[in-house]
Amino acid sequence: MEVFMWIVQLMASTCRVSTPLLFAAMGGMMSERSGVVNIALEGLMLLGAFVAAAATDFTHSPVLGAFAAFMAGLIFSIFYAFFVIEIGSDQIVAGTAMNMLALGLTPFFSKILYGSSTSTPSLPIEFRFQYAPVWIAFGVVVLCWVWIVKTPFGLWVQFAGEHPEALDCAGVCVKRVRWMAVLVGGGLAGLGGASLSIFLSSSFSRNMTAGRGFMALAALIFGKWKPIPAALACLLFGFSDAIQIRLQSVVLWGNEPVPVQFIQILPYFVTILVLAGFVGQARAPQALGIPFVK
Amino acid sequence: MIFFKKMIYFLKPLFSVVLGLGLGLVITKIAGEDPWNVLQILLKSAFGSRYDIGMTLFYSIPLVFTGLSVALAFQAKLFNIGAEGQLAMGSIAAAAFGIYFPNIPFPVAPILASICAFLVGAVWGAIPGWLRARRGSHEVINTIMLNFIASGLTSWMTLYLFRNLDSQNPETKAVGAGYWMPHLKIFGESPVSFSIFIALFAAFCVWFFLWKTALGYEIRAVGQNESAARTVGIDSAKIRILVMAVAGGLSGLVATNEILAHAGRFRLGFSPGYGFMGIAVALLGRNKPGGVVLAALLFGALHKGTSDLDLETENVTRDLSQILQALIILCVSAEGLWSFLLESSFGFKKKKKSEIRTL
């Protein structure tokens, strides 16, 4: 019975810690299926986390906080989309710059608003989400699947990523499709950040995403850019994170607990192993990373 | 016309810097500061006295190493975001070497420790190189994951293996006395040391390696057109592993500045993000060693300049440095904007992009 409870708890906590990854991976999928690499996921999440914490602190409503995070991700993506779609900047370089910008802007505004550049004030439990984001995250995965496989707009997005010239011939504006996909993707990544700061913890703290944006990207690649497999990959990373928390202070051999540092690196290690070992012949969208020039 | 083009080649980065700095300073207006005042603080803090100039140089040296590391990888079309982890591993290796062999006399000790730092950094860099070349997983994600792993490993080694029990700070024991590099006395009390010459020498070596040796030619060939390189019989997998290893080694040499000249020990979290700043340095320096040295000076000055903002202004913190860097990179990366402007005003031909990245 005890083992059973332990497993149930582990599963529940896996779902909880996977939530930010699920949102971010779906956001990344939108943008990458349309042909735009999105390294900026990390920065979008960080910004979303900060905006959600600040907006919730201001309005006392987590729903408004999450909405603000969505909008923040969307607005931040406008800059990114402008640079990579309109100007044709290198997408990895511009994405890295966006990450740095988020890393600098969040403490900058935190300092202005709260006088501290390390964290925002802690939110009481009634201003935070309890379980809702988990369900919303799974809902978003299903929606993304329906959207990309079953709707005309999803088909446009796929064509924008696979063969933009064909889409152009069909009379659809490739750039507009990419714009839409990147903006919505940015909003979703913002929601992912929000679920970190107003769901999994009680405030925003400096660089709190700690590589989750990149893990979401890895999950996306592992899931071969498909919504359901990518979501499963997120759950795998979430599982390694959940087990990491439980393994701390557990004695595996000898009489000393395993050093906490070894356990903390587990999710990162799993990410590398998964990418190196199991991806196989993943085929990225054909036109991924190539600016469309008419 | 050629002269004109050349001039634009040099003016573009300069213009990007001015534009990025300008935008960043305007942002400080939101924090209720006078941008002009902030600029003055930046300049005074970076170049105000001999000591300040020394500190600027001290911050520039690691940036030369990490900038070279990123730039070298870029020449083979590899994006090394892992300089942060590589420099941490290299530094702890140098510190560990100095703790295990404290009695080695002066000229030999720092040389051996530097070699040790280079080698361990190289191993840490070769891992994502190998993963990319043999397993096909992208180096951007792997290097970032390895940064986190390096931070965990160095933290464990610092706290469990080499802990300095006399101090409250998370740091290792001190290295032997023979390991200290001589400081340059002109810069007062600042910790600028002989390491600056190692940095310049490294820049020269990278230039020589890339543009004057056959191997360097192969590296650039792989970077510019992999399938063509493969056709003429260049083993691109081997080149990629080699490039990432050397890049990691260069990052590891940050130890010469931090461990062997400043702290004498490994302090947890000593790097304020040198590895990530190296990306900005390499981009601004156009991935050329000479450009990297100049860009490192600029970003070193930026880092030193912003470090006084915490005290001198009410609302602007040193995080401004991060914002300024990001804006400068964005302006540099907006190459298309330049060619667009040039095309419309001077009729230059637009370059066609044919590069494919899968991520």
**pLDDT, average across residues A142-156:** 86
CB contact under 8 A, B280 and A100: yes
What was the pLDDT predicted at B8?
73
Q: CA nearest B30 in A: which residue?
A: A112
Contacts for B126 with CB less than 8 Å, ≥ 6 apart: B241, B244, B245, B248
* Chain A CB contacts of B359 below 8 Å: 32, 37, 39, 92, 217, 221, 284, 288-289
| Binding-face residues of A in 232-271 toward B, CB within 8 A | 259, 261-262, 264-265, 268-269, 271
Residues 6 or more apart whose CB falls under 8 angstroms from that of A168 comprise A174, A292, A294
Please name the residue of chain A whose CA is at the shortest distance from the CA of residue B280.
A97
| CATH number listed for the domain at residues B50-316 | 1.10.3470
Reported ipTM: the value is 0.82
**Interior angle at CA B152, CA B318 and CA B276, nearest 5:** 35
Choose among A107, A210, A288: nearest Cβ to B358: A288
Residue of A nearest to B158 (CA): A261
Say if CB B244 and CB B73 are below 8 A apart: yes
Which residues of B are less than 8 Å from A210 in CB distance? Answer: 148
Nearest CA in chain A to B156: A261
CB contact under 8 A, B330 and A89: yes
**SS3 of chain B: helix, strand, coil, percent, to 5:** 75, 0, 25
Are B52 and B42 in contact by the 8 Å Cβ rule? The answer is: no
CB A109 within 8 A of CB A50: yes
Give the residue from chain A lying closest to B32, CA to CA: A112
Query: Given CB atoms, is A97 within the 8 Å cutoff of chain B?
Result: yes
Verify whether the Cβ–Cβ distance B326 to A98 is below 8 Å. Answer: yes
Return the DSSP state at A115: S
Q: Which residues of B touch A97 (CB under 8 A)?
A: 326-327, 329-330, 333
**Inter-chain residue contact B329 with A103, CB threshold 8 Å:** no
B133 token code pair: 């070349």
How many Å lie between the alpha carbon of B86 and the closest alpha carbon of chain A? 16
Query: Residue B30 is nearest to which of A112, A117, A210, comparing CB atoms?
Result: A112
Q: Is A3 at the interface with chain B, CB within 8 A? A: no
Residue of A29, A36, A93 to mutate for B, most B C-beta atoms under 10 A = A93
From the list A39, A112, A218, the residue facing B315 with the nearest CB is A112
Phi-psi region of A172 (alpha: psi -120 to 50; beta: other; left: phi over 0): beta
Gap from B350 CA to chain A (nearest CA, Å):
11
| B357–A92 CB contact, under 8 Å | yes
Closest CB from B329, B340, B356 relative to A96: B329
B136–A279 CB contact, under 8 Å:
yes
Whether residue A284 and residue B359 make contact (CB cut-off 8 A), yes or no, is yes
Question: Which residue, among B93, B78, B76, B71, has the nearest Cα to B128 in the 3D structure?
Answer: B78
Best of B161, B309, B333 to disrupt the A interface by mutation (most A CBs within 10 Å)? B333
Instruction: Determine phi and psi for B39, rounding to 5 degrees.
Output: -60, -40
Nearest-Å Rg of the Cα atoms of chain A is 19
Closest CA in chain B for residue A37: B359
Who among B280, B336, B359 is closest to A289 (CB)? B359
Q: Tell me, what's the pLDDT at B352?
A: 45
Q: CA–CA separation, B22 vs B319, rounded Å?
A: 16
Which residues of chain B lie closer than 8 angstroms to A269, CB-CB?
Answer: 145, 149
- Predicted confidence (pLDDT) per residue in A41-68, tens digit: 999 999 999 998 888 888 888 888 889 9
- pLDDT at residue A280, as a whole number: 58
Q: Quick one: closest CA in A to B141, which residue? A: A214
What's the burial of B205, exposed, middle or buried (CB within 10 Å: 0-12/13-18/19+)? middle
pLDDT-derived band at A150 (thresholds 50, 70, 90) equals confident
Chain A hits for B287, CB-CB cut-off 8 Å, are none
Of A93, A111, A210, Cβ closest to residue B317: A111
Highest mean pLDDT among A17-21, A279-283, B270-274: A17-21
Task: Tell me the percentage of chain A whose pLDDT exceeds 90.
Answer: 15
* β strands within A128-260, DSSP E: none
Q: Give contacts of A 30-69 with B, CB under 8 A.
A: 32, 37, 39
User: Which domains does chain A possess?
Assistant: 18-119+129-277 (1.10.3470)
Task: Output the six-digit token pair for B43.
Answer: 């300049």
CB contact under 8 A, A265 and B352: no
End-to-end CA distance of chain B: 39
- Note whether A87 contacts B319, CB cutoff 8 Å: no
**What pLDDT is stored for residue B356 in this prediction?**
43
Q: Which residue has the tokens 């987590």?
A: A62
Show me where the domains of chain B are located. 50-316
Q: Do A111 and B31 touch (CB under 8 A)?
A: yes
**pTM for this entry:** 0.84
Dist CA B25 CA B37 (whole Å): 10
The answer to whether the Cβ–Cβ distance between B359 and A111 falls below 8 Å is no
What pLDDT is attached to residue A279?
59
What pLDDT score does A177 carry? 85
Asked if A97's CB is within 8 angstroms of B329's CB, the reply is yes
Q: Where are the beta strands (DSSP E) in B122-260?
A: none
Q: Once rounded to an integer, what is the mean pLDDT over residues A171-200?
A: 87
* Tens digits of pLDDT across chain B (359 residues): 677 777 777 777 788 888 888 888 888 888 777 888 888 888 888 888 888 888 899 999 999 999 999 999 999 988 898 999 999 999 999 999 998 888 888 888 889 999 999 999 999 999 999 998 888 788 888 898 899 899 999 999 988 888 888 888 888 888 888 888 888 878 777 788 888 899 999 999 999 999 999 899 999 998 888 888 888 888 888 999 999 999 999 999 999 888 888 888 888 888 888 988 898 899 888 889 999 999 999 999 988 888 888 777 777 777 888 888 888 888 887 766 666 666 656 554 444 444 444 44
Counted across chains A and B, CB pairs separated by less than 8 A come out at: 166
